[in-house]
Structure 1
Amino acid sequence: MRLRSILSEAYRNIVTGTTRALLLGIFLAAISAGLAIVDARSIIDIEQKADDFVSSGGSVRVMVARESIDAAACERLSAISGVRSAGALKETDAVVLRVMIANPIPAYVVTPGLIEVLGGNAATRAGAWLPAQLAKTLGVQPGQELVTTAGTLSVAGIYDYPDDGRDSRLNYAALLPQLATGVFDECWAEVWPLSKTRDHLLYSALTVDVSSTDPVIIGQLNTSRGTQFDGVGAFTGRPTRYGLAGCGLAGLILGFVAIRMRRLEIAAALHLGESRCALLASLLIETAVWSFSAFILAACALVFGVIPRNTAASMNVYIIDICGPAAAALTALVGTVLASFTIQEKYLFGYFKSR
């Protein structure tokens, strides 16, 4: 049979409803889009939990060792893969404002890297960094000056430090950046993803002091979101990951059943002398029409299931989950081939009796 005849036969079957293309396409689109959207939302939920964990300070590791932290070594930790930023901190004399002499502001000397840990940039201008709530209370903005008993103090910047369970010392404190030299009391490092190996790297910021008896403690800035977050484990272990395989299985079953429902028609065509190759080609064309139409519908539905969640990795999630509808469209063709070979001309009268 010529290609034109094959295409003509497939077209007539689709137009007359013999293929049931509309019903099969909508059904496959609904299944594959539903499974893909459920998995996409599961992945986005994991990402949002990870973002919440990081933004709350759960990924910031704090090593406390009084007068034993090498400030320069602590800053260099940021060069290690997986350590986003690192900086040292030590307490210093409180800042006493002339208008608030009875209420001094606790102050800490910090290295520039610690300002980065808090989401700022110490290179913007010289001066003190204040938490947002304290700056609001004092009514100051970056660039303004505070009159203290020791002279004027410029406000270099403002950092967010909400009261969400994190170490409360910096809720009401002034941070005074200085060069990363000398010995400090603490080393803060934002580590992501979390790793015990990277925790051990913090020890490289310690100075060697055999006479010191103070303990060295590594803790977490905020434990309110838990002490660990295994994003990789949550992603690979999510129950909805089987939805992608489910899409492929749905396409295979639907493609198989769609052809088996037409076994009498197919056996009769074989009995009348139509070649199996020509018949299979026509069936594959018909299946391709409804299965790839289903893919397009599912792809559009997945866009509305992913983009409204407005995450930075929406496109990555879309790429992962569009594989499900794509697999469904392809396995429908496989189901068509398998079903066609189960239909034999010799069973024509049996198919007729059981119709």
Structure 2
Amino acid sequence: MSREQDTVAPAIDRDTAETGRMRLRGVVDEAWRDIVSGTSHAFMLMLILAALVGGLSAADLFSIRSIAQQVDRYIVSGASTYVIEFKGRISGEACERLSSVDGVLASGALRSRNDKVTSAVLPSAGIPSLDATTGALGVFASSTRSSGATLTARDYDGIWLSSQAARSVHARAGNRLALRAGGRVRVAGVFQYPDDGRSTSYDYVALSQVPAAADDFDQCLVKAWPVPDAMQSLLQSTVSSWSSDASQQPTISQLNSTQGTQLDAVKTFRERQSALAPVVMFVSALFAGYAAVRARRLELASAMHCGEPKIALWLQMLLETLMWCCSAIIVTAPLIVWALTHMETGIIISSTTLVGILSRIPAAALVGVLAGASMAMLITRERDLFRYFKNR
């Protein structure tokens, strides 16, 4: 008897497993037939969901880009560039070292010169001249960019002119400027200095590169983003010697104060209206998934009345829902790829983080439609078949 039971038990297990596989295959086949035949309205639902995912993703993406452009304008205007001025008491090396601080894009020291650059083209008006460390040249070279500038040894060979000074003497980068006293000087570069509210101290100057190993500079410029909370302390750390006279103290100012004293990009980013896009997507997808299954309640109740297990029907609805939902996500995937390759948002957010943020919307869509479909399936009952038929 025991031997007979041992023989029958594995046979029953095999039959059960085979029956389960056949039932699962039948569910998959039925789901596929519903999609192909149009019973599930998968194509229409895919288009609706794709429009929602694409629209909300685009709204959030353009909102993020708008914030990035706002930050870019703030930096380019010189609002995030700070200047400490203390005549003859700024350490060039200490100022240059600030470039290693997190958030500092470039820093360098300046010192006034007694002589001017007087060209043969305009001998009656000399160009005020400043000594500049390599970092200071980097600050001015990137004056119209939100990032720092990478200069080579060739860029330090000669003088740098502001765009206004270069126009007055008809000079261009790489040219040799004839001087009134004789000889020529190479113009290593020309930096843009727009009239947009920034300090006029540097709109008509010539910069000559000098070593930073001196403690008698007049100014230290620091271009930063995000601006460190301890910016004032950092600037004061460049002072080589303090005066005992209370009236002789360093002054700290923005290069351009017309854009406001600060820009809280983190707060602006967190409080953007499109940050609620995943929530809106989830609610919309929940409704779409619920409506898609609830509209077929008569068909589902009839199937249950004919002996189809509810769990099998639930699995079938999930498979059909997954099909049109995943298709919608795939259709909108190129939007994220395009955003990464064409939209410059790196000033406030990395590409990896941007992908993570945008991925929340399709993820919310997937969870929403599956939850909605499950809810609709849960409240669909066989005993309500007559009521479904009467209300049809």
Q: TM-score, normalised by structure 2?
A: 0.84
State the match for 1:243 in structure 2: 277
Counterparts of residues 132-281 of structure 1 (less than 5 Å)? 132-140=163-171, 141-149=173-181, 152-180=184-212, 181-212=214-245, 213-281=247-315
Gaps of 5+ in 2: 1-21, 142-148
Residue 37 of structure 1 corresponds to 58
Match of 2:358 in 1: 321
Contact 1:75-1:113 at 8 Å conserved across structures: yes
Per-residue CA distance 1:83-141 (angstroms, 9 max, x = gap): 11111112212222344332111111111110111125373232211113322332223
Note the C-alpha offset of 1:252: 1.5
Q: How far apart, in 1, do the equivalents of 2:117 and 2:109 lie? A: 19
C-alpha spacing 1:329/1:215, structure 2 compared with 1 (3 Å): same
Q: Please state how far the C-alpha of 1:351 moved relative to its aligned partner.
A: 1.9
Name the CA distance, whole Å, in 1 between partners of 2:244 and 2:367.
Answer: 71
Distance 2:335 2:342 in 1: 14
User: How far apart are the structure 2 equivalents of 1:100 and 1:76?
Assistant: 38
CA RMSD of superposed structures (Å): 2.2
- 1:346 matched to 2:351: no
Q: 3-state DSSP class of the match of 1:179?
A: coil
| 2:33 matches 1:12 | yes
Shift of 1:330: 3.1
The answer (yes or no) to whether the contact 2:122–2:169 under 8 Å persists in 1 is: no
Give the Å deviation of 1:197: 1.5
Task: Provide the rounded CA distance (Å) in 1 between the counterparts of 2:54 and 2:121.
Answer: 63
- Corresponding residue of 1:293: 327
Larger radius of gyration: 2
Secondary structure of the residue aligned to 1:195 is: coil
TM-score normalized by structure 1?
A: 0.92
Percent identical residues: 36
Gaps of 5+ in 1: none
Distance 1:136 1:96, change over 3 A: closer
Give me the whole-angstrom Cα distance separating, in 2, the residues matched to 1:250 and 1:183. 65
Count the aligned residue pairs: 354
Q: Is the 8 A contact 2:79 2:260 kept in 1?
A: yes
**Deviation readout 1:132-167 (Å, 9 max, x if unpaired):** 332233222325243243854332222222222211
User: How far has the Cα of 1:28 moved from its partner?
Assistant: 1.2
Q: How far apart are 1:315 and its partner, in Å?
A: 4.9
Say if 1:215 and 1:182 are closer, same or farther in 2 by CA, change over 3 A. closer
Letter in 1 for 2:344: T
1:76 deviates by: 0.9
Q: Tell me which residue corresponds to 2:100.
A: 79
Q: How far apart in 2 are the matches of 1:226 and 1:201? A: 20
Of 105-114 and 345-354, more deviation after overlay is shown by 345-354
CA distance in 2, matches of 1:148, 1:169: 24
> Would you say the 8 A contact 1:112–1:123 is kept in 2?
no
- Of 86, 93, 109, which residue of structure 2 is paired with 1:65? 86
In 2: Cα distance, 1:229 partner to 1:32 partner: 31
The DSSP-based 3-state class of the residue aligned with 1:118 is helix
CA distance in 1, matches of 2:106, 2:44: 56
2:344 is paired with a residue whose SS is: coil
Shift of residue 209 of structure 1?
Answer: 2.6
User: Distance between the aligned counterparts of 2:243 and 2:127, measured in 1?
Assistant: 35
1:288 shift after superposition: 0.9
2:132 alignment partner in structure 1: 110
What's the offset of the Cα at 1:210? 3.4
The one-character-per-residue Cα deviations of 1:20-41 (angstroms, maximum 9, x if unpaired) are: 1112111111112111111100
Contact (CA 8 Å) 2:290, 2:375: kept in 1 or not? Answer: yes
Q: Whole-Å Cα distance in 2 between the matches of residues 150 and 199 of structure 1?
A: 44
Q: Equivalents in 2 of 1:116, 1:156: separation in Å? A: 13
| SS at 2:230 equivalent | helix
